[in-house]
Amino acid sequence: MTRMTATTENRTFDSLNPATGGTVGTHPVHDAAAVRAAVGRASEAASWWAELGYAGRRARLLDYKAVITQNLKRIASLVHEETGKPEGDATLEIVLAITHLDWAARRAQRVLGPHRVASGLLGVNLAATLEYQPLGVVGVIGPWNYPVFTPMGSIAYALAAGNAVVFKPSELTPGVGLLLAELMRESVPEQPVFQVVTGLGETGAALASDPGIAKIAFTGSTATAKRVMTACAANLTPIVAECGGKDALIVDVDADLGAAADAALWGALSNAGQTCVGVERVYVVDAVYDEFLRELTGRARQVKAGEQYGPITMPGQLAIIERHIDAATAGGRTLLGGPESVRAPYVDPVIVADVPEDSPAVTEETFGPTITVKRVADTEEALAKANASAYGLAGTVFSGNTRRAMDLARRMRGGMTAINSVISFAGIPALPFGGVGDSGFGRIHGADGLREFARPKSISRQRFALPGMKLTSFGRGQAELDRLVKLVTFLHGRRKH
Ligand code: NAD
């Protein structure tokens, strides 16, 4: 939660504990001038950081990783205070962030460093080199739901690629953002390669429209992504947009139903359902539908808000969750909970079956501990329904048949699919992460995530002049052109069928 103090100058805001309403910290609202100053400092730091080279950056980022690991409990406790999530869940997200930081630090040189590429037959006298250079200052705008894991997916990869970072954490979790930057100063005391500016949306907008920003890595809602793109348009600043989702889980006829129910439940309810790649819709093939529902509801009865998961972090989200529960229960068959499950700031699990596919509970991101379950004739119908969404972030398939599961996974609309597990792709640093459609574009994580924060530099070097092949010169004669056409006809002129 967040609370503003209403003064015009030196404005501050409080981050609040969503479970108790108590103040966790008070932070400045950085205006455009403060953002400008931070970006200016970052610009100098970026040159120094780029000069340091891969080995220097790797050593410091691995040290930062160790510092974060040593401070795991302290960070987890602050994540718990600012978001309300249990410390165990906070620990899990920090561990994932550590894994990504390690991967990005170790792999940056191999992925981005200079390497020779083939120059082709026509370029036989040329040496071709490709390398990926840093962009400069990357602006990261983050959400509150995973205040360590999510922004680190951009911050770690941007830093490893040789950029400096100015991070605008969510106004609900500014303390976590500041702590991450403070710990970085232990590993890199010389220059502010990772700074934090705090504030609300307007601070984020100032960052997005700052001319010193080379790229914005935005994670948050689709509606805000559009506003960020508008701000970026002024300077033609490129953007990575990691937005919301309405992820589906498909249960096949030969799936392990206990495991599928367990995964659906955790995917939907953990972090109170406030997960971009959380399970919101479940499609189950007819033959196993009733048994799956028994497995699901039986397990769900053991899960309580305030015990296995925390409160709804952002008070404004409660109204959306309530509206979706009302819509779902009005159009479908309630299996667990209902409107009475909302007892602010907590929401107990809600499961509703047979909700019409055009209900907002099925089409819009709920971001709460609710699940809609639908019976389908077969996995083809499940896939068609799963894919009929404006969003396309991730998804899950449970099946005993690997070939069918892989085929479904490939055809699922979205950047990531987990098979017989839930959200497992997020813990594999080599796998890129990102969406399609309303879920955004661009990728964090993996080699693609490193390249997202770098620009390719192509260099061709002539090693010797090709005798009789002076093609890019006004001294070229007809004989050279004839030789070229002969060669290209030999290489490319034969049809295979
Ligand atoms: P949000 O869009 O409200 O805010 C995200 C960030 O943008 C915050 O830091 C906010 O201050 C800032 N912001 C707000 N207005 C701005 C503006 N005009 N210009 C620049 N910045 C502005 O989102 P949220 O509520 O913090 O996060 C929840 C959303 O994030 C959900 O939709 C969730 O699915 C999504 N999410 C996506 C991923 C992913 O990787 N795809 C990960 C986590 C969360």
At 281 the pLDDT is 98
How much is the pLDDT for 209?
98
Distance 219 CA to ligand 1 centre (A): 5
- Quickly state the pLDDT bin for 5 (edges 50, 70, 90): low
* Alpha helices in 190-285, H assignment, sequence order: 201-208, 222-233, 257-269
| Residue (of 397, 348, 390) closest to 246 by Cα position | 390
**pLDDT (average), residues 226-248:** 98
Domain presence at residue 496: no
Q: Which helix (H) or strand (E) holds 32?
A: helix 32-70
pLDDT number for residue 497:
77
Spatial CA neighbour of 394 closest among 240, 245, 241: 245
Structure token pair of residue 143: 């959400």
Nearest to residue 445, comparing CAs of 219, 228, 263?
219
Task: Summarize the confidence of residues 42-58 as an average pLDDT.
Answer: 98
The closest alpha carbon to 396, from 386, 37, 342, 388, belongs to: 386
Average pLDDT of the segment spanning 143-150: 98
How far, in Å, is the centroid of ligand 1 from the Cα of 222? 8
Q: Is residue 488 part of a domain?
A: no
Determine contact, residues 352/373, Cβ cutoff 8 Å: yes
Other beta carbons within 10 Å of 365: 26
**Whether residue 274 sits in one domain with residue 351:** yes
Helical ranges in 310-400 per DSSP H:
317-331, 360-363, 379-387
Task: Examine the domain organization and report whether 278 and 407 are in the same domain.
Answer: yes
Q: What is the pLDDT of residue 423?
A: 97
User: Does 220 sit in the ligand 1 pocket, CB within 6 Å?
Assistant: yes
User: Distance, CA 203 to ligand 1 centroid (Å)?
Assistant: 13
Residue 21 lies in a domain: yes
Banded pLDDT at 470 (limits 50, 70, 90): confident
**57/96 same-domain check:** yes
Peptide bond into 345 cis (omega under 30): yes
**pLDDT single digits (tens) 178-225:** 999 999 999 999 999 999 999 999 999 999 999 999 999 999 999 999
41 — pLDDT class (breaks 50, 70, 90): very high
Residues 110, 6 share a domain: yes
Out of 276, 295, 364, 365, which one is annotated catalytic? 276
* Mean pLDDT across the chain: 96
**242 in helix, strand or coil?**
strand
Same structural domain, 273 and 388: yes
* Residue 131 belongs to some domain of the structure: yes
Q: Tell me whether residue 184 is in a domain.
A: yes
pLDDT-derived band at 10 (thresholds 50, 70, 90) equals confident
Q: Is residue 277 located within the same domain as residue 331?
A: yes
Sign of CA dihedral 184, 427, 267, 150: positive
Query: Is 243 annotated as catalytic?
Result: no
Q: Same structural domain for residues 82 and 28?
A: yes
The answer, yes or no, to whether residue 7 has pLDDT greater than 50, is: no
Which listed residue (82, 93, 242, 365) is catalytic? 242
Choose among 241, 21, 242: nearest CA to 146: 242
In order of 39, 138, 433, the CA distances from 452 in angstroms are 20, 11, 11
207 & 293 share domain: no
What's the pLDDT score for residue 482?
95
236 has a pLDDT exceeding 70: yes
Residue 232: pLDDT band with limits 50, 70, 90? very high
CB distance 83 to ligand 1 below 6 Å:
no
Tens of pLDDT, residue by residue over 106-116, are 999 999 999 99
Question: Quick one: 239 and 252 in the same domain?
Answer: no
- 100: confidence class by pLDDT, cuts 50, 70, 90: very high
Partners of residue 130 on adjacent β-strands: 115, 458
Residue 3 has pLDDT above 90, yes or no: no
Q: What's the confidence (pLDDT) of residue 8? A: 45
What are the residues facing 286 on neighbouring strands? Answer: none
Residue type, 427: G
CA dihedral 372, 376, 381, 387 (to 10 degrees): 0
Q: Which atom of ligand 1 is nearest to the CA of 434?
A: 41
* Any domain includes 219: yes
CATH number for the domain spanning 41: value is: 3.40.605.10
CATH number, domain of 346, equals 3.40.309.10
Residue 306 inside a domain? The answer is yes
Catalytic residue list contains 242: yes
Answer for the pair 22, 16: CB distance below 8 angstroms, yes or no: yes
> Do 256 and 283 share a domain, yes or no?
yes
Q: Is 29 within 8 Å of 198 (Cβ atoms)? A: yes
- For residue 191, what are the contacts with CB-CB under 8 A and spacing of at least 6? 44, 45, 48, 49, 164
Q: Are residues 149 and 259 in the same domain?
A: no
Position 4 confidence tier, pLDDT thresholds 50, 70, 90: low
Spacing, Cα 241 to ligand 1 middle (Å)? 10
Residue at 461 is within a domain: no
Task: With a cut of 60, say whether residue 6 has pLDDT above it.
Answer: no
For 258, the domain range is 247-429
C-beta separation of 134 from 161 below 8 A? yes
Number of domains in the chain: 2
Pair 201, 323 in one domain: no
